[in-house]
Chain A
Amino acid sequence: MRESGAAFFTSLTLHSLAMALVVGINLAVAFRLLGVAPGIALGPLIRFYTLHWYAAVAIFLSGLALLLAYPAKALTNPVFYLKLSALATGLVLARKIQSTVSKESLMVSGRQLQWIAGFSIALWVITITAGRFLAYTHSVLLASRFF
C-alpha cells in the first residue's frame, strides 16, 4: 500500500468520494428534518440511505487500506480517534434517523428528530475537519522510528 502509488491514490480517492456521498446524503436528510424544503417526502428520501451504506462500506475499506499504509502515523495521533468517534457516532445517528422515519416511530418526537439532525450535522463537520487535520498533526510517520 505504502509503496504502490496507484493503490494508495485509489484508496485516497475512493475514501474522498465515499465520504462526500455519506456526508452529503446525511446533510440533505438533516436539512430536511430541520425544516428546509419541508415538501420533500421523508419516506422516499431515506431510500438514499441504501446508497449511503454502500458508501459507508467503501469508507471503511479504503480507510483500512490507508491505515495499513501508515499505521503509526494514525494510531499515535489523537485526532485520528476524534475522527473515528465522530464518524461512528454519525453513522449510528444515521441508522437512528433511518429506522425512526421508516417505521414512523412514535418513540421519537419530531423535536427530538430535529435535535438528532442538528447533532448529526455537527458530527459530520467534526469528522471532515479531523480528517483534514490528520495530515497536519501527526508526530510519528513510521513505526521504525521507535526501533
Chain B
Amino acid sequence: MIEILTDFALASGIYRFMNSAWGWPVAESIHFLGLCLLIGTVGVFDLRMMGLGNGIAYADLHKLVPIGVAGYLLNVTTGTMFLVSAPDQYIFNPAFQTKLLFMLVAGLNMLWFYGSTLAQVKTTAATAAVSNRAKLIGAISLLCWSLIIVCGRLITFFRPPYHWCFWC
C-alpha cells in the first residue's frame, strides 16, 4: 500500500511539489480554504435546517451547496496530495483513520438526505421548520464535519511512531 502510494506520488510529480520550499503550506492553505467553503455553504444549510436564519428559503440557500462541493473537491485533491507524499504518517495514524470514518458517515448522511428529505425540505416555507428527520440529518452533518476538523488537527499535532497503530 505504502509503495503504491509512494510510486504514484513520485510518478505524478506530487512528491516533488510537496517537498519543494512551499509545497506543503500551499496545499494546507488550499485544504483549509476548501473546508471553509464547505462550512460556509453545507454547514450554513445544516444550521438553517436546525432552525437558524428563519426566513431564508431552503431552496434558495441550497443553491450555495455547489460551492461547498467545489470546496470538498479541493479538500479531496489536497488531502490525496498529503496522503501520497507521506503515506506512513497517515495510513497508520488513528486520527486519520477516524477522520476517514467520519467522512464516510457524512457521506452516508448526505445520501440519506438526498434520497429521502431534500424534496420535502425545498418545498418547506421559509418561515416554517423542517421535519425532525431533516433537523437530525443537519445535526449529524455538522457534527461529522466538526469532528473531521478535530481529527485533521490531531493528525498534524500528534505524529505516531513509525508504523504505530493501537488497534493494528
Contact = CB atoms under 8 A, between A and B. Distances in A.
B53 interface: yes
Interface stretch (B2-10, B99-107, B132-140, B147-155): B147-155
Contact of B55 (A17, A25, A44): A44
Interface stretch (B29-37, B79-87, B109-117, B159-167): B29-37
Contacts of A51: 47, 52
A9 B59 CA distance: 38
> Which size class do B's interface residues fall under?
35 or more
Nearest to B45: A28
A38 to B, nearest CB: 8
Interface in A11-41: 12-13, 16-17, 19-21, 23-28, 31-32, 36-37, 39-41
B53 A44 contact: yes
A47 interface: yes
Interface in B28-64: 28-29, 32-33, 35-41, 43-44, 47, 52-57, 59-61, 63-64
Nearest to A130: B29
A72 interface: no
Contacts of B40: 23-28
A48 interface: yes
B130 to A, nearest CB: 15
Interface of A: 8-9, 12-13, 16-17, 19-21, 23-28, 31-32, 36-37, 39-41, 43-45, 47-48, 51, 124-125, 128-129, 131-133, 135-136
23 contacts: A9-B157, A20-B39, A24-B36, A24-B39, A24-B44, A25-B44, A27-B67, A28-B40, A28-B64, A31-B67, A36-B64, A37-B64, A39-B60, A40-B63, A41-B57, A41-B126, A43-B55, A44-B54, A48-B44, A124-B36, A132-B25, A133-B22, A136-B25
Interface of B: 22, 24-25, 28-29, 32-33, 35-41, 43-44, 47, 52-57, 59-61, 63-64, 67, 126, 146, 149-150, 152-154, 157-158
Given A20-B32, A129-B25, 11 more contacts: A23-B39, A24-B36, A28-B41, A36-B64, A39-B63, A40-B61, A41-B60, A48-B53, A128-B29, A128-B36, A133-B22
